[in-house]
Amino acid sequence: MPVFMDLHIGQDITPEIVAMAHQRDLDIQHEFNCKCLTYWIDEPRGNAYCLIEAPNKEAVYALHKKSHEQLPDEIIEVDRRVIKAFLGRIHDPEVVDYIIDQKIKVFNDPAFRVILMVQLKDYILLEAQLGRTKAEYLYNKASRFIRKLIEKNQGVASEEIGEEIIATFTSAIQALLVSLEIQPVLGPEYKDLEIEIVIHAGQPVETGEELFGSTLRFGRFLSYSGKKNKILVSHTVKKLLEGSNHNSLLKEELVSSLTNAEEDFIAQLIKVLEKNWQNASFEIEDCFRALSMSKSQLYRRCIETIGISPNRILRTYRLYKAKNMLKNNNFNVTQTAFECGFNSPSYFTKCFQTKFGLRPQEFIGEKA
């Protein structure tokens, strides 16, 4: 059966309330053909997340309604492996805070996570540049080293192998310490990997149907900015570090952090781009109208915050979407061009080659 995560926002929850509600769910779960696996509670932020194996979303809703009427604000289907990778477990933790009524386990395990994203150059592009032998050597050695660092600092790395290594941490300092070790140790030999590192943080369910979707989209967008050999830290993570004994690490030469205004602007920009990137008639003028800015204001904010012009941001966003589409779908070049908002396959080919160094036809051929 599929597994669902439901989100309860600001319902005056406490660890005891959630623990008792979870026990009531367990008592009647069989009536709805459900299996309540575990939950996370984020008391300071007023959120709780339940993980339930169920035939469908309706069964999850009906279970909660009969059990305790603490109804979810959102329910999404999730992958067990992804849950394990991001949140570290799919069952109740072995260590609990205390037990009430002899069987109700009370624990306060937040689902808020700091996410480290390490982007390596696309393997197909690297192989075309260096040849298979050297590309495999660099990829394998760098990946093993980065994953060992993550494990040493109590992080959980995703199981997927590829140019994107994602790890979650409960502590911002752990993610930053891993990042600060990556660049100097790998050194000049690995410059062709064009390693980009982004640290952001967020809740598992915010908007959309992807676990940590908003957080991952934000991190990937920052990695498109072209700031090579820098550790980009969001303002959300910066706030977690402020006031700690490790606040000085934010001043390291390798670290670049966002202000609150910059993070808000980028988040708004991503929402507009994500909604419109496939629309060929969408132009940057539509973007500044959506953001309630003048054309000159938008240009200035993009240059100051991201370092590239609005037109280039839109084109780059579409090109990265196209590259992923070419790798993961059965679309040909012409179909991909139109799906990604390009009016002309020839113009798409020109832009793709300028950005990535290969024509899209060659990119597909290298993959095959």
- The angle subtended at Cα 275 by Cα 240 and Cα 336, nearest 5°, is 115
How far apart CA 118 and CA 146 sit, in angstroms, is: 9
Give me 233's structure tokens.
């830290």
How far apart CA 352 and CA 285 sit, in angstroms, is: 23
Q: Please give the CATH architecture assigned to the domain spanning 3-106.
A: 2-Layer Sandwich (3.30)
Residue 19's closest CA among 97, 128, 124, 113? 97
The reported pLDDT for the residue numbered 366 is 46
Contact 90, 51 (CB under 8 A): yes
Answer whether residue 42 shows pLDDT above 50: yes
Give me 270's structure tokens.
């991503």
Segment 283-287 mean pLDDT: 86
How far apart CA 122 and CA 195 sit, in angstroms, is: 10
Q: What CATH class is the domain 261-368?
A: mainly alpha
Contact 67, 145 (CB under 8 A): no
Quick: pLDDT tens for 259-270.
999 999 999 999
Answer whether residue 88 shows pLDDT above 90: no
User: In which residue are the tokens 């606040």 written?
Assistant: 247
Share of the chain above pLDDT 90, in %: 52
Please state the pTM of the whole predicted model.
0.88
Average pLDDT for the chain? 88
Min mean pLDDT across 15-19, 53-57, 93-97 is at 93-97
Quick: pLDDT tens for 167-218.
999 889 999 999 998 877 666 778 888 888 999 998 887 766 678 888 989 9
How far apart CA 247 and CA 310 sit, in angstroms, is: 33
Quick: pLDDT tens for 17-29.
899 999 999 999 9
Those residues with Cβ within 8 angstroms of residue 137's Cβ, 6 or more apart along the chain or in another chain: none
Those residues with Cβ within 8 angstroms of residue 332's Cβ, 6 or more apart along the chain or in another chain: none
Per-residue pLDDT band for 58 (boundaries 50, 70, 90) equals: very high
How far apart CA 271 and CA 317 sit, in angstroms, is: 12
CATH fold for the domain made of 112-258: Alpha-Beta Plaits (3.30.70)
Burial class (CB in 10 A: 0-12, 13-18, 19+), 251: exposed
Residue 193 CB coordination number (10 Å): 22
> For the chain, what is the HEC assignment?
CCEEEEEEECCCCCHHHHHHHHHHHHHHHHHHCCEEEEEEEEHHHCEEEEEEECCCHHHHHHHHHHHCCCCCCEEEEECHHHHHHHHCCCCCCCCCCEEECCCEEECCCCCCEEEEEEECCCHHHHHHHHCHHHHHHHHHHHHHHHHHHHHHCCCEECCCCCCEEEEEECCHHHHHHHHHHHHHHHCHHHHHHCCEEEEEEECCCCCCCCCCHHHHHHHHHHHCCCCCCCEEECHHHHHHHCCCCCHHHHHCCCEEECCHHHHHHHHHHHHHHHHHCCCCCCCHHHHHHHCCCCHHHHHHHHHHHCCCCHHHHHHHHHHHHHHHHHHHCCCCHHHHHHHCCCCCHHHHHHHHHHHHCCCHHHHHHHHC
How far apart CA 142 and CA 55 sit, in angstroms, is: 41
Quick: pLDDT tens for 214-233.
898 999 898 876 566 678 99
The reported pLDDT for the residue numbered 248 is 78
Distance between alpha carbon 87 and the CA centroid of its chain, in Å? Answer: 13
Check for a shared fold between 3-106 and 112-258: yes
What are the sequence ranges of the domains in the chain?
3-106, 112-258, 261-368
Answer whether residue 156 shows pLDDT above 60: yes
Segment 330-355 mean pLDDT: 95
Higher-scoring residue by pLDDT: 162, 237: 237
Please tell me which of 42-56, 148-162, 185-199 the model is most confident about, judged by mean pLDDT: 42-56
Segment 249-256 mean pLDDT: 81
Higher-scoring residue by pLDDT: 247, 106: 106
Per-residue pLDDT band for 357 (boundaries 50, 70, 90) equals: very high
Answer whether residue 352 shows pLDDT above 90: yes
The reported pLDDT for the residue numbered 27 is 94
- For the chain, the residue count is 368
Answer whether residue 287 shows pLDDT above 50: yes
